[in-house]
Every structure is written in C-alpha cells, then in structure tokens.
Structure 1
Amino acid sequence: MGYPIGIGYRFHPTDEELVGYFLQQRAKMGNQFHSNEISEYSEFYGQEEPWVVWDKNGGSSVDDGEPLFFFTKRKKLNPNGKRFDSKVGSGTWSGQFSREVVAEDRDTGCRITGMRREFRYEGGCDPEQNNSWLMQEYELCATDVLVLCTLKKNPRKASSAKRKRMACPAVRSEKAETCEEQQSTICVDLEETNSESRDHQLLQVVDEDYLPELFP
C-alpha cells in the first residue's frame, strides 16, 4: 500500500525560489495565484501578537525550527512616504540583517534582484515573548507593499528556556534537601536544649542541705 504524497514532504524553498517564483508569480497574478504552502494573511502587520498569528495559522502542527509562510502587505507610515510601519501587536519587528537575493523569472528568464530582511520581535507586553520570534521579509522592490514573510520561533530562546526548565527541578531538590537538613539540625538542637533545660531545672529545685528521711 503506497503512502500519500504528503508523507515526509517538507517545504524548504531557497531564497531564490521564494523571490523568483512564489513572490514574482503572486505579484504578477494577484489573488489568482495560490500556494498550499504559503498562506494569505493580511493582518500579519497588525494588532495581533506573533504568537497569536502563529496559533491561528497552524503553528502547533509545524515541526520544531520550521517556519510559517505568508503573503501579506506592508503598511506605510505615511501614505505618500516610502517607509513602512514595523509595529506588530504590542511590540515591534526590530531589523537585524539584510541581503540581496538574485533569482530568475521562470517565465521570462530575466534576472530579478529582490531583498531579504531579518527581524526579531522586541518591546512587547510579555517579557517572555520578547526575542522569542523571528521573521524574514522578502520583497521585489523597496517600494512594493506586497511581501512574502516567514515566521518562526527563535531556537536559541527556546533552547535556553528548556535548559532552565530542566535545571529548576534539580535546584529545587537541592534546596529542599538543604532545608530538610537544616530543619532536622534545628530540631535536634532544640531537643538537646530542652533536655538540658529540664535537667537544669531539676537540679535547681534540690536544696544542698536537704537530706531525705530514712525509713526502716
């Protein structure tokens, strides 16, 4: 019995393929272009936090380290300007790196020079989520509103959190053992102190001149 085509399939396009085919075709064909691997999500740059976008678009079913892909539109800071708004949810996409992507249009064979920019989520309302999300933005032209974006979890932040979770039980155990030892020592000290105190009190009530009567 054969397996469906989807078994074992991974969507791992190169930067050149994302720019030269997927983004180029989407720009040419508009909404008529469809891809099973790349979602249309107009609110990627909006009021929703990255983890909300992740959950809404099936992030829970993605393998660790794998991204989600989106066609979306950037929002200009000024309708007549060239700069785009980098805010997302309560935070912002902070730029880190950028590089040119040179690809070929499969239909015309013409060389296309796009751009890939990398961002990191910062300044959000939840400190635990800051630096936990990474985004890549692919554009055909610096003035284009349409872009192709990827979203994924920051593997460094995830591995750091995992190490902390693994270390915490051992630390708590060591602390618990230390506390138990301290409590045990305190109890022994109290018992010895109370015993000495009782003995001391018994010795104090005996008069040195007192001699017990002798009975035949």
Structure 2
Amino acid sequence: MKAAALELPPGFRFHPTDEELVLHYLCRKCTSQSIAVPIIAEVDLYKFDPWDLPGMALYGEKEWYFFTPRDRKYPNGSRPNRAAGRGYWKATGADKPIGQPKTVGIKKALVFYAGKAPKGEKTNWIMHEYRLAEVDRSVRKKNSLRLDDWVLCRIHNKKGTIERQGQHLSVKKANSTEIVEEDEKKSVVMLPPPPPAPSSATGTVNDYVYFDKSDSVPRLHTDSSCSEHVVSPEFTCEVQSNPYNYLDATMDTPFTTPFQGNYQMSPLQDMFMYLQKPF
C-alpha cells in the first residue's frame, strides 16, 4: 500500500512526537490492535541498505517510518544484531526514556556505517529506534533469535536527500586511485643518460677518469696529493693538464733514481740523459 492508496487529505503531514509514536503506534502494533491510518510500513529493514528504504515506505518526504522485527546477535544473549545490507548500524549517544511519569518506551539513536565492522565508513543516514520498556526479552523458544517482534524506526538523512553511499564510495575510491597515480608520476625522476667514457686516459680535469687494467699504465694513488710532493716548475703545466700524476706514481717504485732532490725526474728521462753522453 502506497501513499496514494491511503487517500490522505490535502496538506496532511505526519510529524508525531516521541510519545505519540510509542503510545499510539508501537504499543498498538505490539498488542495487535488496529491503527486508524496504516501509514507505517512493515519492513525488515536490517536486510536492506538505508538508501533503499524510502522506496518501501508508505509515506514520507524526508523522514520514513517502519515497523521492523529485531533479532539477537547470539542465541543466548540480549545483544541485538545490527548488521544491515552492505553495512551495519552503530549506536550513538545514550538511550532516552519515553513517557511521563512512567517510562513506556526507549529511544535509541544509530548511525549507518558502510562496509564491515569495525572499519566501516560513516554515512549521513540516521535511525531513531523506539522499543517498549519493561518487556520480557528472555529466550522464549529454543534456538530462537527473535529479540522483539516489533520495534518502530524512523529513518532520515542529515543532508535531506536520498544519498546512495555505494556510489559515494566508488567515486571516492576512483579519486583516491587518481591521486595515487599522480603521486607515483611525481615520484619518478628522469635521470639523464650517462656520458660516454673517454677514449684515452688523458684529458682535462673535468673529464671522467678512465681506468686501464693493463700493467703498463701506473695506477692512480688515491692517498697522495700534490701537497705531499714537490713538483718541478717545468712539469707544472703537464701535471695540471693531466689527471694522472705520473711523477707521484713513480715515487714508490724500485726504479726510482737516487738523484731525487728538488728536481725529480721519471725513469725514462733519466735514461735519456745517459744516452746523450758519448761513450
């Protein structure tokens, strides 16, 4: 039965108070008494997502009312099962007693979370659950999960719209994926290709060092510097333009001449000096 079949008068609005909901609707429903206008639908709302419930209501624009049964979470316990659709309802705040001077009902506020507990995502869907007070909720039948035959629930969205959280989650997931992809693109650093190795061991100071593994070329001593040896002025230009200091490389070899003073010469230069002398 939909709102059109109820034949409600023009301008009709359904805005009952908490006491009116408990006394005139929930109490009559639990005692199997008739209700003048059957404006509240009977739906097991714990089987559906909250954004699907407005289409099942008999009446409502921004608030929708339902009679629904409530089951236990455990067969021998009194804790209700709050799983619903693709999420769960989570209680928030303290319970509010309804009725003066005697409490006839209890009002509980719940928020719907999409996903699996306890890592669900909070939504804007709110439910006010009204249940009767001082009711025997002991296990009436063996292996029975029924906790309450009927409770009255009022569903609404804080934004005042029928917001589908499933679409919101997919859009949010797509946006987060795009952000991750952009971050990965930003983290990639394009390095320039390495310059080619020089064709010979000689070159300027800014050239890359070329290591020859042959035994004919003296190896570079990294523990020596120009400040440790006195170099002749006539070889200064050659030493500065050559990345290898051959004079330093020959200091530790057994072929060094004993005439090493202020002017130090390589073994080859010493040999040429003796060759110039007549025999």
TM-score (norm 2): 0.44
Counterpart of 1:120 (choices 111, 123, 128) is 111
Task: Give the match for residue 90 of structure 2.
Answer: 94
User: Is contact 1:131–1:157 with CA below 8 Å preserved after alignment?
Assistant: no
Task: Give the match for residue 45 of structure 1.
Answer: 46
Over aligned residues, Cα RMSD in angstroms? 2.9
AA aligned opposite 2:124: S
User: Is contact 1:20–1:103 with CA below 8 Å preserved after alignment?
Assistant: no
1:36 matches 2:38: yes
- Could you tell me which runs of 5 or more consecutive residues in structure 2 were left unpaired when the two chains were aligned: 1-6, 138-146, 164-279
1:6/1:124 Cα in 2 relative to 1: closer, same or farther (>3 Å)?
farther
| Separation in 2, partners of 1:11, 1:123 | 29
| Separation in 2, partners of 1:72, 1:103 | 25
Larger Rg over CA atoms? 2
Task: Give the match for residue 16 of structure 2.
Answer: 13
User: Which is helix-richer, 1 or 2?
Assistant: 1
User: Is contact 2:64–2:155 with CA below 8 Å preserved after alignment?
Assistant: yes
Task: Give the match for residue 71 of structure 2.
Answer: 75
Task: Give the match for residue 140 of structure 1.
Answer: 132
Note the C-alpha offset of 1:5: 5.4
| Separation in 1, partners of 2:12, 2:153 | 21
Aligned length: 140
- Could you tell me which runs of 5 or more consecutive residues in structure 1 were left unpaired when the two chains were aligned: 105-110, 160-216
What is the aligned-residue identity percentage? 27
Note the C-alpha offset of 1:131: 1.5
- Higher relative contact order, chain-length normalized (CA < 8 Å, sep 6+): 1
TM-score (norm 1): 0.56
AA aligned opposite 1:117: K
1:10/1:83 Cα in 2 relative to 1: closer, same or farther (>3 Å)?
same
AA aligned opposite 1:71: F
AA aligned opposite 2:86: S
Task: Give the match for residue 155 of structure 2.
Answer: 151
User: Is contact 1:114–1:138 with CA below 8 Å preserved after alignment?
Assistant: yes
Note the C-alpha offset of 1:123: 2.9
1:131 matches 2:118: no
| Separation in 2, partners of 1:12, 1:156 | 16
- What SS does the aligned partner of 1:77 have? coil
User: Is contact 2:97–2:103 with CA below 8 Å preserved after alignment?
Assistant: no
